[in-house]
């Protein structure tokens, strides 16, 4: 990885093959590198523009042996299509109080996170996380990161763990109240991030990996226009 502002050497490693958590019968393998030292922010920006994601102090990208279903995607903020459905969701939750908080885990956040996992992802590994695992996910970051809290009448109803990039923001993870009244709140957090970037003249919201054949990961195609990083080049993606 060549980048003018990165002075130190960067070493990349590949993980051992594991069963893919998204597509049955597929094998997952990743290329990873550490985000450490004074160049960590510059390195993270460069890698994000090459399709990498961050987890704790690591940046990673899929290098699966028999599959290329994971497509890094980002929303083109300036040309985002605010459809009637998006306007409805925006208006539904426009009254929420929003606060950008430091990347510090709280018991209140974890209680909401735990309830979300049990209601939406009870069969996943994250449902087994305790408070210390959650704190590690939030606080182990070498780059500018925020927890965006959304409240109704003082009650925490959703949160977005968000990395700050030089060309936008990266939605690391989000969770929300599973009550019926809050349906669409996950979408609203993305709409909020898009609007936040627009207000700050930042061009992109990075949403991670789109997997067309996985219901949990295909929703990202709803945000149009969407760009995907294919063979290191960002290009406009056709709607599903």
* DSSP letters spanning 202-219: --EEEEEEE-TT-HHHHG
* Interatomic CA distance for residues 44 and 85, integer angstroms: 34
Tokens of 62: 């899929």
CA distances, 29 to each of 19, 65, 86, 202, 208 (Å): 9, 7, 35, 32, 16
* Interatomic CA distance for residues 62 and 87, integer angstroms: 34
* Interatomic CA distance for residues 68 and 95, integer angstroms: 41
pLDDT at 121: 66
pTM, full prediction: 0.93
Are the CB atoms for 165 and 196 separated by under 8 Å? no
* Interatomic CA distance for residues 207 and 224, integer angstroms: 12
SS3 category, 183: coil
Tokens of 183: 């349906």
* Interatomic CA distance for residues 170 and 165, integer angstroms: 7
Q: pLDDT per position in the chain (240 positions), as tens?
A: 444 455 568 899 999 999 998 999 999 999 999 998 889 999 999 999 999 999 999 999 999 999 999 999 999 999 999 999 999 999 999 999 999 999 999 999 999 999 999 887 666 678 789 999 999 999 999 999 999 999 999 999 999 999 999 999 999 999 999 888 999 999 999 999 999 999 999 999 999 999 998 888 888 999 999 999 998 899 999 765
pLDDT at 99: 98
pLDDT at 2: 46
DSSP state of 52: -
pLDDT at 119: 85
| Helix/strand/coil percent split, the chain, to 5 | 30, 30, 40
* Interatomic CA distance for residues 150 and 223, integer angstroms: 21
* Interatomic CA distance for residues 208 and 55, integer angstroms: 11
pLDDT at 143: 96
pLDDT at 238: 78
pLDDT at 139: 98
Nearest to 32 by CA among 13, 51, 50: 13
pLDDT at 3: 47
């Amino acid at each position: 990885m060549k980048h003018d502002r990165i002075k130190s050497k960067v070493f990349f490693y590949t993980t051992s093959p594991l069963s893919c958590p998204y597509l049955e019968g597929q094998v997952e393998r990743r290329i990873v590198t550490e985000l450490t030292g004074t160049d960590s922010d510059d390195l993270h920006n460069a890698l994000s523009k090459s399709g990498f994601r961050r987890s704790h102090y690591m940046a990673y990208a899929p290098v699966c042996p028999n599959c290329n279903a994971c497509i890094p995607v980002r929303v083109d903020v300036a040309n985002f299509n605010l459809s009637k459905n998006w306007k409805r969701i925006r208006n539904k939750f426009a009254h929420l109080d929003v606060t950008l908080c430091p990347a510090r885990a709280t018991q209140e956040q974890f209680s909401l996170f735990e309830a979300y996992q049990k209601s939406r992802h009870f069969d996943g590994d994250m449902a087994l996380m305790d408070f210390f695992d959650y704190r590690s996910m939030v606080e182990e970051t070498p780059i500018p990161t925020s927890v965006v809290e959304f409240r109704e009448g003082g009650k925490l109803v959703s949160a977005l763990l968000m990395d700050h990039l030089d060309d936008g923001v990266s939605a690391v993870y989000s969770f929300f109240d599973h009550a019926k009244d809050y349906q669409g709140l996950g979408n609203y957090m993305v709409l909020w991030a898009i609007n936040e970037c627009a207000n700050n003249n930042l061009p992109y919201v990075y949403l991670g990996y789109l997997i067309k054949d996985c219901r949990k990961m295909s929703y990202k195609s709803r945000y149009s226009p969407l760009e995907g990083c294919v063979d290191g080049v960002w290009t406009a993606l056709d709607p599903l």
